């Protein structure tokens, strides 16, 4: 079927979450190809359809939610595979698995590793993103380390921690421009402030994480261009009433956006509610921090050279018991934010889609539902169960597919 004969896809009778118009009750969204053509009340759509005169495929949302696809800026892998494998076959598995749980865009997130291993990931991700997305779209790379604090290594391999190396970034950006979208580092390390300024000048998100930085250090880093905090509360200097630490700076500085792992283990719901109030509607970002064990059964795994035990879906290092990433999916995190943290669906949608899109500078084409944007769309039941997923207007998952491969 050529583009002229292509049918318009329509979802009607849904509660459509939009960025500027709030929730459209009993709404319709229509797209042809990869772009959204119409969003509005269902009763007003008939005139649009007559004017455009195209055949259509219609889906009754049955009062469910129509959401923009989720964007996960911190995800290491899933369904048995890791982005560190630097192989297109592994990337297909990861992007397919997370697309089945509502993620339509993601950053391939690394771990602390030797330079050559990181180079392989950057090269592989750069090649992979050039193809049209078969599943979730790979938007770039998030380098989590290796320029982090050995005091807060968490589940990162301390053997590969090194001081900030700006020449590494210069080489990577020179050879693979626009693929590195975020770098997590400890701002207190020698050379970190200069690197933060360098990243900021090039539009790469500088993020604090795995850090022992005090309050004043984080404030200084913000002045150099620090914009973001990874897995807030975890693997960073905590809050004390006489020394606010990294956490205190993140909570109190409106210039810093904050990730949150909403699984009930990494952060208590009360702290999530506090964080959402302090960061407001636009500076809280939902992530999974998913590891290759996501989607697999409980058991023992080796992840990036470290032994991990997953029990009751919670992953911890075998040696020491530190939490080691997550087996979370974005739709599970979304439900937790609504059901356990008490946030509204519209607000959580911003955390899962609009806010990460703005952080990465891709909000003009994704992250919210509006005419002209990419048709990255989720159909969710009133009970927040995922039913269908579209990426660039193409169906990539339906509920009955969940038992396949």
323 is in an annotated binding site: yes
231 is in an annotated binding site: yes
What amino acid positions are annotated as catalytic residues?
A: 289
392 is in an annotated binding site: no
242 is in an annotated binding site: yes
117 is in an annotated binding site: no
144 is in an annotated binding site: yes
User: Of the candidates 76, 152, 139, which has an alpha carbon nearest to the alpha carbon of residue 110?
Assistant: 76
248 is in an annotated binding site: no
258 is in an annotated binding site: no
2 is in an annotated binding site: no
Residue 106 contacts by C-beta under 8 Å, 6 or more apart in sequence? 71, 72, 73, 75, 95, 98, 136, 137, 138, 139
76 is in an annotated binding site: no
101 is in an annotated binding site: no
Binding-site residue numbers are 144, 155, 210, 231, 234-235, 242, 266, 323-325
Binding-site residue numbers for substrate are 155, 234-235, 242, 266, 323-325
């Amino acid at each position: 079927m050529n583009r002229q004969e292509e049918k318009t896809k329509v979802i009607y009778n849904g509660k459509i979450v939009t960025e500027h118009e709030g929730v459209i009750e009993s709404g319709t969204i229509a797209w042809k190809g990869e772009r959204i053509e119409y969003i509005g009340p269902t009763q007003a759509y008939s005139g649009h359809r007559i004017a455009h005169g195209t055949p259509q495929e219609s889906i009754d949302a049955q009062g469910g939610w129509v959401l923009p696809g989720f964007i996960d800026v911190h995800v290491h892998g899933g369904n048995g595979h890791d982005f560190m494998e630097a192989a297109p076959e592994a990337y297909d598995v990861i992007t397919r698995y997370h697309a089945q749980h509502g993620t339509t865009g993601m950053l391939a997130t690394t771990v602390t590793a030797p330079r050559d291993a990181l180079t392989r990931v950057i090269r592989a991700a750069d090649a992979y993103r050039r193809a049209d997305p078969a599943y979730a779209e790979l938007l770039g790379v998030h380098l989590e380390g290796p320029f982090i604090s050995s005091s807060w290594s968490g589940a990162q391999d301390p053997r590969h921690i090194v001081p900030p190396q700006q020449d590494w970034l210069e080489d990577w950006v020179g050879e693979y421009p626009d693929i590195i979208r975020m770098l997590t580092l400890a701002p207190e390390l020698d050379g970190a402030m200069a690197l933060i300024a360098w990243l900021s000048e090039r539009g790469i998100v500088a993020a604090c994480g795995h850090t022992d930085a005090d309050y004043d250090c984080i404030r200084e880093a913000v002045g150099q261009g620090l914009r973001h905090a990874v897995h807030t509360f975890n693997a960073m200097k905590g809050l004390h009433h006489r020394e606010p630490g990294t956490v205190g700076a993140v909570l109190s500085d409106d210039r810093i956006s904050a990730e949150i792992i909403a699984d009930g283990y990494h952060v208590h719901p009360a702290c999530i509610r506090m964080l959402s109030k302090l960061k407001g509607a636009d500076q809280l970002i939902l992530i999974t921090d998913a590891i290759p064990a996501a989607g697999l059964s409980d058991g023992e795994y080796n992840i990036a050279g470290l032994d991990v035990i997953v029990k009751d879906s919670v992953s911890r290092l075998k040696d020491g018991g530190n939490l080691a990433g997550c087996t979370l999916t974005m739709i599970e995190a979304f439900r937790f934010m609504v059901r356990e943290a008490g946030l509204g669906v519209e607000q959580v949608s911003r955390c899962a889609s609009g806010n990460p899109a703005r952080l990465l500078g891709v909000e003009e084409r994704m992250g919210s539902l509006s005419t002209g944007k990419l048709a990255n769309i989720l159909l969710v039941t009133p009970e927040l169960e995922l039913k269908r997923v579209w990426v660039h207007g193409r169906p990539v998952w339906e509920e009955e597919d969940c038992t396949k491969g």
